[in-house]
Every structure is written in C-alpha cells, then in structure tokens.
Amino acid sequence: MATFSGLNLLFFSFFIASGAISVVSGTVFTIRNNCRFTVWPGILTGQGAQLSDGGFTLSPGASVAITAPAGWSGRIWGRTGCNFDGSGSGSCQTGDCGNKLKCNGAGGKPPATLAEFTIGTGGAKDFYDVSLVDGYNVKMGITTQGGSGDCQNVGCVSDLNAICPNDLRVSNAGNVVACKSACEAFGKPEYCCTGSFSTPQTCPPTNYSRIFKGACPKAYSYAYDDASSTFTCANANYAIVFCP
C-alpha cells in the first residue's frame, strides 16, 4: 500500500468570501508508551491511507503523533518482545505482523489488545473501542482530547496476563506474555459466534469472556459485546496509551 505522504499530512486552509479562514484537518492519534519496556505499535488500515508504514518502535516514555484523514478506519495494537535487525526484519513474541517492523497492510497475529477507530466525516461522530475479541497482550487505554458528545476514556488497564486461565495462556520462557480469546484457543462456534451461534441471541457471553469483561468493563470481551463497548465522539483527537 502507498505510504501516507508528507503532503497528505499538511493542513489545508481555504479562504472564503468573507475573508475568514476555514481550516480542515485530520484526527491526531498520539500513541504513547507508558510501559517500562519497549512496545512496537502496529497499524492496520481498513479505509483510507496507511499510516506510518504500519509500524514503528516506541521506547518507554516516548510518544508519536500521527494524523489520520477524515473517514479513516483501522486498528492500532502493540507488539511486544520484538527483535528486528537493521533492515527491519525480525519477529515479536506477541502481535507479530509477518516478521517485519513496518507492517504495511498486515494485521497482528492474535492474541493482541486492539484500539479500533472509524473516524467520521463532515462533523459526523467517530466510533472507537478497545477490543479483546482477538485476545490480550498489553494494557491499553484511549483518552479523548477535545471533541463533543459522550466522549469517554476507555480501555483495558488490568493485567489480564496475571489472571489468564491456564488454557488461554501464551507463555515464553515461563512467563505469560499474552492471553488468547476462547475463540482463538478452541475455535468452536459457540466461542467464535459463527454458524448456528452467529446472532446475539444464540451467542451469549461465556465464562471466558466474563473474565475479560470483569477485568476490563469498557472493552469488547467477545463478538456481540457492542452495547457496553462501542463509544462515540465528534471532532476529537485521541491518545492511545500503552500501560496507562
């Protein structure tokens, strides 16, 4: 996919007949790492331009501001335990996107905590959430900056790795580094909400998703967890924070 050029990131000003200036700009995502360890953010675009080549390194305490155009949709996640060489080749313990630093259109391998966005156009609402549907690997929060409407700060700030059931654990060198979703772990329709379980009525929460929901009540815990997990805000910027 084409990279998001510097020209696209500029703010454009238009003079109108009255002499006033109307500034049209994108939504700013400030991605911050508050963890005590390095995180390698990954970005997958669903609609719109690819941002920052889809991935980069974020040292403890560092932050990066990225501007997304109106109408952009996609997901942002954190990769952990990565090791890349000078050419950007390597791998990650969690959230890997195909053995490369710059994901460039590749998604992260579950389990991974996801920040998901659909940015509105023409003043329409943005939709956003933190999702555990693909499992969990690192604490994550979304903080709204400005905006109007029911703009809530959301996320999963509990350490789910510490309470992850044994049959969902992903371990490395004896340490739990991620927690699978029940769908990822077992692949059964009743956990994945597929087949005869493909409606909200036939796919209720499970004991596994209830563990996720209890620890992180404002995060998506399974496929039909919309009512308490999707949030809206208009004309806002957002901070996506690892280990908030």
Distance between CA atoms of 31 and 106, rounded to whole angstroms? 19
Query: Looking at the domain assignment, is residue 222 inside a domain?
Result: yes
Report, as an integer, the average pLDDT of 75-79: 98
* Residue 76, domain extent: 16-242
Residue 1 lies in a domain: no
For 148, the enclosing helix (H) or strand (E) is strand 140-148
Whether omega before 69 lies within 30 degrees of 0, making that bond cis, reads no
Q: Dump pLDDT digits (tens) for 25-74.
A: 699 999 999 999 999 999 999 999 999 999 999 999 999 999 999 999 99
Q: Is the pLDDT of residue 136 over 60?
A: yes
- Both structure tokens of 89: 């080749």
Rounded average pLDDT over 169-190: 96
Q: Residue 227: which pLDDT band, with cuts at 50, 70 and 90?
A: confident
Please state which of the ranges 23-32, 127-136, 173-182, 232-241 shows the lowest mean pLDDT. 23-32
Q: Is the pLDDT assigned to residue 113 strictly greater than 90? A: yes
Q: Which residue has the tokens 């796919």?
A: 203
User: For residue 117, is it within any domain?
Assistant: yes
Residue 159 lies in a domain: yes
Q: What is the pLDDT of residues 82-96, one digit of tens each?
A: 999 999 999 999 999
- In this structure, is residue 97 part of a structural domain? yes
DSSP characters over 39-78 = BEEEEEEEESPPPGGGB--B-TT-EEEEEE-TT-EEEEEE
In-domain check, residue 131: yes
Determine contact, residues 119/109, Cβ cutoff 8 Å: no
Q: What is the mean pLDDT of the chain?
A: 90
CB 5 within 8 A of CB 52: no
CATH number at residue 48: 2.60.110.10
Q: Is residue 184 pLDDT above 50, yes or no?
A: yes
**Total count of residues recorded for the chain:** 244
Q: How many domains does the chain have?
A: 1
Domain-located, residue 8? no
**Is 84 within a domain?**
yes
